[in-house]
Amino acid sequence: MQAAAHDWLTRNHEEIIHGLAELVAIESISTDGEHNPEIDRTAKLTCDQMRAAGLHNVDILRVGQSLPYAYGEWLEAPGKPTVFLYAHHDVQPVNFVEQWLSDPWKLTRRDGRLYARGSADDKGAISAQLAAIAAYRKTGNALPVNIKMLVEGEEEIGSKNLLKFFETHRDRLKSDVIVVCDTENIEVGVPSITYSLRGLVAVKVEVTTARIPCHSGMGGGALPDAAIALNAILGRLYWDNGPLPIPGYYDQVRPLTDKERTAFSKLPFDDTKFRETLGVVPGARAATETGYNTYGQTWRRPAITVIAQEASSIKGASNQVLPKASAIVSCRIVPDQKPEHVLEKLTAFLTANPPWGCEVSVTPAGPSVDWWMTDPNGPAFEAALAAMRNGFDRDPVGIGSGGTIGFVGPLTQLFGGAPALLLGIEDPASNAHAPNESLHEGDFKKLMSSLVGLFDNLGKLTPGSVK
């Protein structure tokens, strides 16, 4: 049955590509609140593709005022494990339009890659999962496992309704194994399974020096400048190549073990290619802490980034001493940091001794997300590693991720400790959220092949033996 499914993938590759092209053609941007009709269209198209792949009970679901979730299932494998597949159909906006080399809403083949907004993050995962399902349903008509597939419409805005959705539909969704294809392969051709994710704490820093602006000719030099005060405060975060200079910030950080350091050091990494891919300017050196490589730093060390700053617009600039300035500071947290501890230490650090005695407030900018880490061992992981080894024709590697997928930890708990398998679909050149987002077509094929193998391997287990 598995051989016929693999053959189906090969024979129907162009049809699969066509399905992905249809998905990326819809501008399902969730971040601006202006594309809800397009998100509705993508949910409907996803449902149509689910039906075409052979899923049953396909429907658009919502919870409260949420954006739409597409859901489908196939539950005709009694005694076999139930696999929960997750992906999302919303995307980031198209920024820096002048840097795109092709239409971001038209899937374009170039140099072995598939370019379009959402091709890698995360509509490619929708197509890959549905292709693996169809490969079985269109050949032997049956899958070796039960399937429940959910495609979210709010991932790019923090999945703000997802946990409520899971709790509302718990009985309908409950499964034995979770499979997510929204992470990265460490390098093209290197199958990677992610076993740790950083968490997220974001704050809004607001500085006030006056109630109204003042003409800079009248008050400049006499009045405290809110923008300069804000930047003096943010400048305290500069860490050079050491730890972040926040007292108590590392009290709860779990140290890397010698085994982890050794494993990270053996993973492939090309610093020159890394810098070129990200467009790092020649004179800028890495900010990595002394004693850590890029993987150790981005997977297991805390990070702070100023992701937005506002005092006045350049376009509407006027000769004024500005009375207010604000910024969003985003903190990636790691095992075993507690979000409330991070918030406490960061707030104390940013509000202490304000420049010119200005008013400084630090407030949460949205809900925090905890870190997640699991032991990548056990029957489900062995099934995944074997499937990836066959699909990619090389040994897979276990990796961490500097990113955050907030639902993974809570969902594993909701499903009674179900193992979560995070299989890579992106790679360092994918440019998710950036211009010229792309999916490596060869790895796309290998992921679909791996999913076919994973279903077969899991089908050899019982629901009670996957952990």
Give tens-digit pLDDT for 7-54: 999 999 999 999 999 999 999 999 999 999 999 999 999 999 999 999
297, part of any domain: no
- 46 and 167 share one domain: yes
**149/175 same-domain check:** yes
160 lies in the same domain as 309: no
Same domain (yes/no): 409, 334: no
Q: Looking at residue 126, which CATH number applies to its domain?
A: 3.40.630.10
In a domain, 275, yes or no: no
Look at the chain and report how many structural domains it folds into: 2
Entry pTM:
0.91
Averaged pLDDT of the chain:
96
pLDDT at 95 over 90: no
Q: 357 lies in which domain range?
A: 199-253+302-364
Position 273 in a domain: no
Could you tell me if 212 and 94 lie in one domain? Answer: no
Q: Which of 391, 461, 466 is nearest to 5 (CA)?
A: 391
Mark whether 219 and 351 lie in a shared domain: yes
In a domain, 440, yes or no: yes
Residue 162 lies in a domain: yes
Same domain, 330 and 227: yes
* Residues 459 and 392 placed together within one structural domain of the fold: yes
Q: For position 45, what pLDDT does the model report?
A: 98
Q: Can you read off the two tokens belonging to residue 94?
A: 């198209």
CB 197 within 8 A of CB 372: yes
For residue 277, what pLDDT band results from cuts at 50, 70 and 90?
Answer: confident
**Which CATH number covers residue 214?**
3.30.70.360
Same-domain status, 126 and 177: yes
Q: Tell whether 311 and 231 lie within a shared domain.
A: yes
**210 and 73 housed in the same domain:** no
Q: What is the mean pLDDT of residues 79-100?
A: 96
> Are 305 and 329 within 8 A, CB to CB?
yes
Same domain, 167 and 20: yes
Length in residues, the chain: 467
CB environment 273-305: b (16+ within 10 A), e (fewer)? eeeeeeeeeeeeeeeebeebbebbbbbbbbbbe
Residue after which a domain boundary falls, among 322, 340, 364: 364
Per-residue confidence (pLDDT) for residue 279, from 0 to 100: 87
Question: Of 266, 221, 50, which Cα lies nearest the Cα of 149?
Answer: 50
pLDDT in tens, 373-392: 999 999 999 999 999 999 99
List pLDDT tens digits, range 215-224.
999 899 999 9
Look at residue 285 and tell me if it is in a domain.
no
Q: Residue 421: inside a domain, yes or no?
A: yes
- Is residue 260, in this structure, part of any structural domain at all? no
What's the first-to-final CA gap in the chain, in angstroms?
A: 25
